[in-house]
Amino acid sequence: MKLIKQVKGNGNNSEQITLLPQDKEDLFSLYNVINTDDELIFKKLVTDKVDSSGKKKNTDLVRLRLKVVSSEFEPQHEFLRYKGVTTEDDTGKANIDVPTGKFFSFTINYKYPFTLIKEDYNTFVAKQLKDACTPESRSDIAAVCLQEGISHICLLSSFSTILKNKIEYSLPKKKRSTDAAKFDEKIEKFYKGTYESMKRHFEFEKLKVIILCSPGFYAKNLFDKVMQYAQEDNNKIILNARPRFLVAHCSTGYLQGISEVLKNPAYVSRLQDARNSKEALIMDEFLQHLNNDDFKAWYGQAEVAKASEMGAIDTLLITDGLLRANDIKVRKSSVDLTQAVEKAGGTVYVFSSLHSSGEELEKLTGLACILKFPIPDLDDDIESDDD
């Protein structure tokens, strides 16, 4: 993402940021940053719907200023759209000849910059934008997770795990009467289908690592097959990417297998760039504390808030969902919490809800923490409240 212009806000004015998003990760950053009631200024082709003659239609490029009402985000299709109503523009540049209170939508594209006017500009937003504007923090990883007859073609970035395609072939079950040759033929078809899908969804030149993972030997087989097919197609791009393939082991061909690989210490050196592998490890550490029952790991709104008050939090795990919540109160308290923890010397990990670890945390109320020291009775008085 490119930051084109930033006008600092003060007590009276809101922060104004002009941005040009460049790729799908920027979309997710924007999704985290732009909340309802923020304002957007952008240009849009607007077509008059009814003309008096009923024939002619005018299409004009209009500069609009909207107040965001709702958003739609489809990471799979790189689609982010905001809906909003036009507001009064004090600069006099936007919303000319457009009545106030009219509904428009704005689909984020990579071609034209737009301006975001944000009243509650906070540290989380600042960090998100800073991260998004530094391309070094990027890592592009592709993964294929497969088992017999099923493969998942995914793209991993620092913010997201996106399932691009799922290949499913129903393979005949072994029976004494089944012809084994027919079975091999089907398997071959399955690998071929997976290879074709990889070709379609992966940009091999840009990828840093391509993970192939499966239980048993399917990943290794797939790797061999991919190389063989690439050889046959004389596909130089894939052949050149050969050293960047990582054949890994996991227990299942479903998406859970990928997080297993990201957690596995055996592959850490290859996956250092992947920010989300760090999150997976933190989550695992949290679970380990919980399993040991050493009273250092807690989750839940009230518990974490209490621990924060005591200044006992070593690591805070929070989902981005809380930091971009539509409810301003929730958003504010979440930002305050992260600031408090950082002030007390703790670390904050913001989990992306597009990752499996973030999804897991979301189900755990979205807030969890690892303490500096055990507090056995942290939830004593809280429990009585709930019942």
Interface residues with another protein (CB under 8 A) are 54, 72, 74, 77, 79, 147-148, 170, 172-178, 180, 183-184, 187, 215-217, 221, 249-252, 254-256, 259-260, 284, 287-288, 290-291, 293, 299, 356, 359-364, 379, 383, 386-387
CA atoms within 13 A on the CB side of 347: 7
Task: Specify the residue, 118 or 289, whose C-beta has the smaller distance to another protein.
Answer: 289
Cα dihedral 121/123/127/133 (nearest 10): 30
Closest approach of Cβ 238 to another protein, in Å?
A: 24
Task: Provide, rounded to whole angstroms, the least separation between the CB of residue 70 and another protein.
Answer: 10
Nearest approach in angstroms of CB 284 to another protein is 7
**Of residues 187 and 330, the one with the C-beta less far from another protein:** 187
Q: What angle do CA 367, 331, 299 make, to 5 degrees?
A: 10
Which CB sits closer to another protein, 273 or 284?
284
| Stretch (H or E) spanning 318 | strand 313-319
Q: Which is nearer to another protein, 239 or 295 (CB)?
A: 295
The minimum distance between CB 258 and another protein, in angstroms, equals 11
- What's the rounded Cα separation, in Å, for the pair 254 and 272? 23
Which is closer to another protein, CB of 17 or CB of 162?
A: 162
The smaller minimum CB distance to another protein, of residues 109 and 137, is found at: 109
111 CB burial (10 A radius; 0-12, 13-18, 19+): exposed
Q: What's the DSSP call for residue 36?
A: T
In the bound state with another protein, the residue whose beta carbon lies nearer, of 125 and 250, is: 250
Which H or E run includes 195? helix 180-201
Decide whether 8 or 55 has the Cβ nearer to another protein. Answer: 55
Distance CA 162, CA 370 (A): 29
- Minimum distance from CB of 343 to another protein (Å)? 28
Full DSSP string of 278-308:
HHHHHHHHHHHHHHHT-S-EEESHHHHHHHH
Assess contact for 328 and 120: CB atoms under 8 A.
yes
> Looking at the DSSP assignment, which residues form a beta bridge with residue 105?
83
Sign of CA dihedral 334, 340, 346, 347: positive
CA distance 159 to 352: 6
Q: How far is the CB of 200 from another protein (least distance, A)?
A: 15
Q: d(Cα 251, Cα 315) in Å, to the nearest integer?
A: 29
What's the closest the beta carbon of residue 232 comes to another protein, in angstroms?
A: 20
What is the phi-psi region of residue 272: left when phi exceeds 0, alpha when psi lies from -120 to 50, beta otherwise?
alpha
The minimum distance between CB 98 and another protein, in angstroms, equals 19
